[in-house]
Structure 1
Amino acid sequence: MPDHRPGHGGLAIHSHNHRTSLPTSAEAGAWADVLVRRQLVHAAVLAPNGQWLVQHCAESPVRVLNGPAAMVELAAEIQHRIRTTRHRTR
């Protein structure tokens, strides 16, 4: 049986993707390119300090992500949202 620890009154959901290393800037850049090319975000720009500036649509405020791991996590969140939405519409 999987280890589900309650947290805040619910079950903890553990990721199936266990990375052995942190995402690199190159990986984050590749995901940023995919998100923009597929029009899942309006813009994703790497700042000189290593943060990512992301804008979901032209009129939305800019979101600041702290480093490559945050960009990869955003891509995972968007993928999850797309998959969940697809399953609900079937």
Structure 2
Amino acid sequence: MDKSVARLNIEHYQKLLKTDLDETKRQTILRLLAEEEATLARLLRSAAKTGSKADGIKADGIKANASNAAAGRIDGLTGDAIRTNPAKTDD
């Protein structure tokens, strides 16, 4: 997958998270966002290993943000808080 496609997908998921979603859809989008961020991190690490430029983004930073986004804490690229419903839990 191309890095620009991964970035566009991440941007799309981030926009969706800013809309009114039920908890099931929100969790699905968070999972997709984390997967896409992990893909981008992998692509950036691969580019760094081959000596090509990684567009100024550190792969390690993206990886850490993907983990945080998956946990519903922050937006993977901007650091904005993601709305979650703390009353709801997955049992």
With normalisation by structure 1, the TM-score equals 0.29
Higher RCO (CA-CA < 8 Å; seq separation 6+): 2
With normalisation by structure 2, the TM-score equals 0.29
Bigger proportion of residues as helix: 2
